[in-house]
Amino acid sequence: MYDVIIIGAGPAGSTLARLIGKRYRVLLVDKGMVLPKNGKAPAAKCCGGLLAPDAQRMLARMELGLPRDILSGPQLFAVRTIDLLNRIERYYQRSYLNIDRGKFDQWLASLLPPDVELRQTCFFRGFAEDEQGLRVHLSQDGSIHEEYTSLLIGADGAFSLVRKQAFPQMPAPRQYIAIQEWFKSERPLPYFTAIFDPEVTDFYSWLIPKDDKMIVGSALRTGETATANFELLKSKLREYGFDLTHSIEKSGAMLMRPVKMSQVLTGQGRVALIGEAGGWISPSSAEGISYGFRSALALADALMSGLEGFQKRYLRRTRRLRSNIRLKNLKAPFMYNRILRRIVMTSGIHSIDVSSP
């Protein structure tokens, strides 16, 4: 019998397990490899690998310093914003830590206290509730087994099975498929580029330098048009002057966009959600790492005084995070409405001048 079973060892799940691992008997389960095994490194999550200022602030609050080998280059201090349709571009000052996402997740998992039991390549399949607690069905190496727990945490990301099974009636955030293609790059761009073009997506696309490579990514509405729209984006970028000649690899992942607060869930009864599984992600920039940290920290705080009444405490402790998402949704039209964006970008408000020799 475990006190807590956490499904998903991404930033949210690993952080919660680290924070409550000494207080509770915790089982942390992930369907993938989390730590290197037999000389093989785990596959990295499809991600831009940028730690925004909010994520940096959370690292500071958790008293964590980033090991040097997690960094990729170059470190970025500006966002170049391109409105492809209106043909306007602007630069804004913003500091990002440019990281190797695979190494980052491994590092977070390496901080788990020895008390936490980590089961890698183990799938969560479902759960059932009885008087004693929750019976959680897990499968590993072709066999299915059950574990008992008092509390089940869904930290299983955008495609959360815990959320689907526990709260099937609750509205889900708007779903996107994010596609990223890596290209060889001779000269890394010294900024993060955000691209807006409603012909490609109603969200946004990006270019991120990663050492001697460059990631071209886009958050696209799910459905048949996603691949075609990604190809359209690349052809528009080539026409704009970007060198996308040597493709190296391509991957994709689901992405949530909570456009209404009813789509953000903390949980109920014996099941709670953290990270993207709960809808904790920025609806304006798709920045999700800091939200994973913040929701995990809020739940850990709520659990510190025991299991009794923790849901209410977790809900209370996420009040500011919910306001943050509400605010980002209010800000979104200035980024995503074509006319408002043109007005903001033409005005040059908050932008910086850049000069290169």
> Which among 158, 164, 120, 150 is positioned nearest to 138, based on CA atoms?
120
Angstrom distance (rounded) from CA 150 to CA 145: 17
Read off the tokens for 203. 């969200």
Taking the complex as a whole, the smallest distance from the CB of residue 343 to ligand FAD amounts, in Å, to 28
What DSSP element (H or E) covers 82? strand 76-83
Taking the complex as a whole, the smallest distance from the CB of residue 214 to ligand FAD amounts, in Å, to 14
Q: Does 161 sit near ligand FAD (CB under 6 A)? A: yes
Angstrom distance (rounded) from CA 72 to CA 49: 9
Report the residue number, 84 or 286, with the smaller CB distance to ligand FAD. 286
Angstrom distance (rounded) from CA 15 to CA 29: 13
Report the residue number, 248 or 343, with the smaller CB distance to ligand FAD. 248
Number of residues binding to ligand FAD, judged by CB under 6 A: 39
Angstrom distance (rounded) from CA 280 to CA 283: 9
Residue 173, C-beta contacts closer than 8 angstroms, at least 6 positions apart? 256, 257, 258, 259, 263, 264, 279, 281, 283
Taking the complex as a whole, the smallest distance from the CB of residue 339 to ligand FAD amounts, in Å, to 28
Residues in region 80-109 near ligand FAD by CB under 6 A: none
Q: How many CB atoms lie within 10 A of CB 150?
A: 16
Q: Does 48 sit near ligand FAD (CB under 6 A)? A: yes
Note if the bond before 74 is cis, omega within 30 degrees. Answer: yes
Q: Does 118 sit near ligand FAD (CB under 6 A)? A: no
Read off the tokens for 80. 């170049």
- Contact region with ligand FAD (CB under 6 A), list: 39-47, 196-204, 237-245, 324-332: 39-47
Q: How many CB atoms lie within 10 A of CB 80?
A: 18
Four-residue CA torsion sign, 152, 155, 156, 158: positive
Q: Does 267 sit near ligand FAD (CB under 6 A)? A: no
Angstrom distance (rounded) from CA 313 to CA 229: 43
Q: Does 209 sit near ligand FAD (CB under 6 A)? A: no
Report the residue number, 10 or 21, with the smaller CB distance to ligand FAD. 10
DSSP 261: G
Four-residue CA torsion sign, 332, 205, 175, 320: negative
Taking the complex as a whole, the smallest distance from the CB of residue 305 to ligand FAD amounts, in Å, to 24
Instruction: Write the interaction track for ligand FAD spanning residues 289-328; mark x where CB under 6 A is met and - where it is not.
Output: x--x------------------------------------
Position among 2, 10, 149, 209 found at the interface with ligand FAD (CB under 6 A)? 10
Taking the complex as a whole, the smallest distance from the CB of residue 330 to ligand FAD amounts, in Å, to 20
- Contact region with ligand FAD (CB under 6 A), list: 1-9, 62-70, 232-240, 346-354: 1-9
Position among 13, 173, 188, 258 found at the interface with ligand FAD (CB under 6 A)? 13
Position among 5, 17, 286, 300 found at the interface with ligand FAD (CB under 6 A)? 286
Binding site for ligand FAD (CB under 6 A): 7-13, 29-32, 45-50, 52, 55, 123-124, 155-157, 161, 178, 180, 217, 253, 255, 275-277, 281, 286-289, 292
